Structure 1
Amino acid sequence: MTSIETVRGRRVWDSRGHPTVEVDVVLDNGLLGRAIAPAGASRGTREAIDLRDGGDRLGGKNVSRALASVNGPIAAALRGCDVTDQAAADQALLALDPSPLKETLGGNATVATSLAVLHAAAAAAAKPLWRHVADHYGTTPRIPLPEIQIFGGGAHAGRRVDIQDFMIMVPGATSFDEVMEITNEVYFAAGDIMAQKGKLAGVADEGGWWPMFDSNEEALETLVAAIEKAGETPGDRVVISLDIAASEFRKDGSYRLALEDRDMDSGALIDMLGGWLDAYPIASIEDPVGEDDVNGMVEFTRRFGDRVQIIGDDYLVTNAKLVEEAAKAGACNAVLVKVNQAGTVSESVETFKAARAHGWGAIVSARSGETEDTSISHLSTGLGGGQLKVGSFTRSERMVKWNECLRIQDEPGSGSFVGGAPLAGTWWGKKQKETA
C-alpha cells in the first residue's frame, strides 16, 4: 500500500489576484500530488462554500481559516491513508465536515485536498493523470470538444451585458488543434469588429472581450459577424453556446435585464431565448432560467430539449441527487461538472456518472477565478465526457488548460478527438446526419 505521509496547505493567488488554497499530498515514498482550488464569481446557492476569513484584510478573502483546516484536521485524518482509495480519502473529508455546503472545513480546503490526492495516486501509479482517472473509474478517455468564451458578461464583466457568456464551439473540427486555430480567427475577428465600432472596453475575467453593447442581442449579432469575418459559415463548423446565468438577474420571481431596462416573467424570458434559438446558430444553452425556477426549466426543456443542449449549472451545482431529480422532472439534458461546486472528486464523478446514466451530456468546467492548475483538462479527457469549458482564448490560466489538452492529445491511448459527437442530439447534429 502506498500511504499518505503528509498533507500541507499554502496560500497562493488566483487569476483575479485573490488568495486561494494550494495543497501538497506527500506519500511515504516521497512522491507528490499538488492541486489548487479555483473560485467562482457566479455561484449557485447550493454549492460548496469557500471558507474565507472576512474582515478588512485582503477584502475579506484571505484563506487562513481554510489553510488551518488543511494543516490541522484534514492532515491528521488522511495521514496513513491508502492514496489509491480516492473514495475513502474523500469520505474522510466528508466525515470531518457533515455540513451540507462544507462551511466547516471550507469547500476550497476540501477540493484542493481531494484533487491533490488524485494527483498523488497518479504519481504513485506512474501514470499521467488522465490515464489514472480512466483506469480508476473504468471510463474510456477521449479528447474533449472545447466551449470557448468570446465575450464575457454578467458577473464576469461588471454586468455590462446581462448574459454571462457568449461562446463558440467548433464541432465540425477534426482535431483539438483545429478548434484552437478556428477559435483564434473568430476571437480576434470579434475584437476587430468591436474596436472598429467603439464597443470594446477591454478583457473580462475569463479572457473574453469586455463589451460595450447596447443590447444583449447585439452580442449575438456581433458574434455571427465575427464567425463570418473569420471565413466560417455560422452553423456549419462553428456554432454558438450561451451561458445565460439567469439566477444572476432574477429577483422576487422576475428577471431584470438591466442593460435593456426591462423586466420579464419566466414565460417571457423563455420566449425571448426561443426567438434567439430560431434566429442564431445556438447549439448549447446553460442555465436559461434561475436555479429556483424549476417550472421554467421544465418548460424550457419541453420546448427546446430536442434541438439544443440545455445545461444545468447553478440549477444542479454538480450534485448527483439534483441530477436525478431534474431527470425525473424532465428538466435539462446536460450538467456542468465543477469539482469545487461539489467539494470532492468523488462527488463530482458521481454527478458525472448520474448524468451519463440518463443519456445526458456532461461538461467539465473551470471557474472565473482560476490558476495554472490543469486538473480539469485531465478529468475531462480521462472521464471521456466529451466537453470542456475553460473560459476564453487568452490569459495564461485559461491557455494552460487548452495547451494541456494539446499535449494529452499526443499521448498514446488518450483517445481520439470527439468532434461533434456530444452535440449529436442538437439541430447541428441532426443537420450533419442528414447531409452525410
Structure 2
Amino acid sequence: MSVITQIDAMEVLDSRGNPTVRVTLELSDGVCESAIVPSGASTGKREALELRDNDRTRYMGKGVQKACKHVNEIIKEALMGTESGRQNDVDSVMRALDGTENYSSLGANAILGVSMAYARASARSLGIPLYRYLGGANACVLPVPMLNIINGGSHADNTVDFQEYMIMPLGFECFSEGLRASAEVYQNLKKILNERGDVTAIGDEGGFAPNLKNNQEPIEVILKAIEAAGYKAGDEIAIALDVASSELVGEDGLYHLEGEGRKLSSLELVEYYENLVSKYPIVSIEDGLSEDDWEGWKILTQRLGDRIQLVGDDLFVTNAQILAEGIAQGVGNAILVKPNQIGSVSQSMQAMRLAQRNRYRCVMSHRSGESEDSFIADFAVALNCGEIKTGSTARSERMAKYNRLLEIERELGGGEYLGWNIFR
C-alpha cells in the first residue's frame, strides 16, 4: 500500500470570488490529487463551521489562511505515513484531532479538503474511478439532475422569495437525454424572458433572476419554456422548488413573502404549498419550512408527504444524528447531502446510508459558492443517490459536474437512470 507523503493547502477563489481551501495530497507511489471545498450562502444553524480569518484587511474578512495553516501544520503532521484506502480511519483521526462537534477548532473546510483529496488519491492509487472507490461494485445509478433555472431569495437580487425553481427530467431513458432536454428548456426560457422584456442576468447557480410579480409566476414561465422546447410538463419534465424558508422567517415568527406582501403562519404556508402542488406538476419541495419549525414540518409531512418529495436541507444539515430525530418524528422524506455541512466524506456517507435504510431519498448537492471540482458527481453515483442538484446548464463550475456525469455514464455503458422510479 502507498502512504501519504505530502499534504498542502492553499487559498484559492470560488465561483463568487470568495476565498476557499484547496488541498493537494501526495502518496508514496507518485499519485498526487487535489480537492477544492465549496461554500454556501444560505446556511443552516447546525452546519459544521467553515473557518474564516475575520481579517477585514483581506477579502473583507473571508480569507481562509487559518484553515490552510491547520492543514499544513496540524493535520499534515497527524496523517503523514498513513496508508491510502483507509477513508474512515483518516476521517476519524481528523475528527478526533479537532475535538469539537462542528469542527470549530480546525474548520470543516480544512477537514473536508483533506478528506476529499485523500479519497481522490486513494482511488487513483488503486487504479479505479472515484465513484468505485467510494461505492464499490454496486455504484451504477446516474442521478436525475435538478436544474435550478430561476434563482430567487438569497441567490439573486430580485423580487422572488423562493430560492430555487428547478426542473427534473424524469421521463427519459438515460442521464444524457435528460440533460439535453433540460438544456433545451433552459435556452427556451431565456428566449421567453427576453421576449417579455425580463432581465436574463443569472444568479449564483446559473439560473435566471428576473423580477416577477409573485412566487407562482416563475413556475408559469418555466411551464411555457418546457412546452416551447417540445416536452410535456408533468410527464417528461417536472418542477421542484427550494424555498429556503429559514430565510423567510421574520422576528414575528411568521413567514414573510415580501414579493407578495404576505405574512403566513406555518399552517398557512403548508396550505399555500398544497395549492401549488394541486395546480402545478411539482414533485419536490426543499426546506418548505424553517429548520426550527419541527411542528410545522410534521404538518407538512402529514399533508404532502405521500404526494411529493419533502427534502430537508437546513433541517438535517447532512447530520446523521439530526436525521435520526427526523425519522423518529416522521419529518420529511428526503435529505439533501452537502459534504461541507457535516465536514467529511465518511460522515456524509453515514447520513446517506441511514437515510436509505429508512427509505428516505438522498439528493446530492453543490453549494452556491462552487469551483471546477466535480467530486459530488462521483459521490452521487457512488451511493446510488438517484438525484443531484448542481445548478443550471450555465456557468463552468456547474457544468463541470454535469460533464463528469456524462463521462461516468459512458464509463458505465449507460448505467441506470431511475427517472420517475425515484418516487415509486
Same fold (TM over 0.5): yes
Aligned to 1:434: none
Aligned to 2:304: 304
Q: Is the CA contact 1:363–1:388 (under 8 Å) kept in the aligned structure 2?
A: yes
- Counterpart of 2:198, as a letter, is K
The 1:354–1:159 alpha-carbon spacing in structure 2 relative to 1, beyond 3 Å, is farther
- Counterpart of 2:279, as a letter, is A
CA deviation map 1:399-422 (0-9, x unaligned): 111011001101147732222221
TM-score, normalised via structure 2 length: 0.97
Q: Is the CA contact 2:364–2:389 (under 8 Å) kept in the aligned structure 1?
A: yes
Does residue 133 of the first structure (1) align with residue 134 of the second (2)?
yes
Q: Is the CA contact 2:132–2:139 (under 8 Å) kept in the aligned structure 1?
A: no
Query: What is the Cα deviation at residue 201 of structure 1?
Result: 4.6
Does residue 384 of the first structure (1) align with residue 387 of the second (2)?
no
TM-score, normalised via structure 1 length: 0.95
**Identical positions, percent:** 39
Q: Is the CA contact 1:318–1:351 (under 8 Å) kept in the aligned structure 2?
A: yes
Query: What is the Cα deviation at residue 198 of structure 1?
Result: 2.1
Supply the RMSD in Å over aligned alpha carbons.
1.2
Q: How does 1:174-253 map to 2 (within 5 A)?
A: 174-252=173-251, 253=253
Query: What is the Cα deviation at residue 2 of structure 1?
Result: 2.0
CA deviation map 1:214-259 (0-9, x unaligned): 1111111111111111112210110000001100111342111111
Aligned to 1:26: 26
SS in 1 for 2:411: coil
- Counterpart of 1:193, as a letter, is I
| 4+ runs deviating over 3 angstroms | none
- Distance in 2, matches of 1:106 and 1:159, equals 33
Number of aligned residues: 422
Aligned to 1:9: 9
Q: How does 1:366-385 map to 2 (within 5 A)?
A: 366-385=366-385
CA deviation map 1:62-113 (0-9, x unaligned): 1101101110101111111122110110011111112222121111111111
CA deviation map 1:108-146 (0-9, x unaligned): 1111111111101101111111111122xx743211111
Q: Is the CA contact 1:142–1:414 (under 8 Å) kept in the aligned structure 2?
A: no
Aligned to 1:266: 266
- Distance in 2, matches of 1:81 and 1:115, equals 15
Aligned to 2:71: 70
- Counterpart of 2:97, as a letter, is L
- Distance in 1, matches of 2:125 and 2:414, equals 19
- Distance in 1, matches of 2:393 and 2:412, equals 26
- Distance in 2, matches of 1:160 and 1:422, equals 33
* Ranges in structure 2 where 5+ consecutive residues have no aligned partner: none
Q: Is the CA contact 1:201–1:212 (under 8 Å) kept in the aligned structure 2?
A: no
Higher deviation after alignment, 302-311 or 220-229: 220-229
- Counterpart of 2:99, as a letter, is P
Q: Is the CA contact 1:133–1:379 (under 8 Å) kept in the aligned structure 2?
A: yes
- Distance in 1, matches of 2:66 and 2:200, equals 37
Aligned to 1:106: 107
SS in 2 for 1:211: coil
The 1:139–1:319 alpha-carbon spacing in structure 2 relative to 1, beyond 3 Å, is farther
Query: What is the Cα deviation at residue 33 of structure 1?
Result: 2.4
CA deviation map 1:192-226 (0-9, x unaligned): 22222222250100000011101111111111111
- Counterpart of 1:408, as a letter, is I
- Counterpart of 1:292, as a letter, is D
Aligned to 1:331: 331
* Ranges in structure 1 where 5+ consecutive residues have no aligned partner: 425-436
Query: What is the Cα deviation at residue 372 of structure 1?
Result: 0.6
- Counterpart of 2:260, as a letter, is E
Aligned to 2:342: 342
Q: Is the CA contact 1:21–1:36 (under 8 Å) kept in the aligned structure 2?
A: yes
- Distance in 2, matches of 1:20 and 1:6, equals 20
SS in 2 for 1:209: coil
Does residue 85 of the first structure (1) align with residue 86 of the second (2)?
yes
CA deviation map 1:131-180 (0-9, x unaligned): 11122xx7432111111111011111025311000000011011111112
- Counterpart of 2:119, as a letter, is L
- Distance in 1, matches of 2:420 and 2:8, equals 42
SS in 1 for 2:283: strand
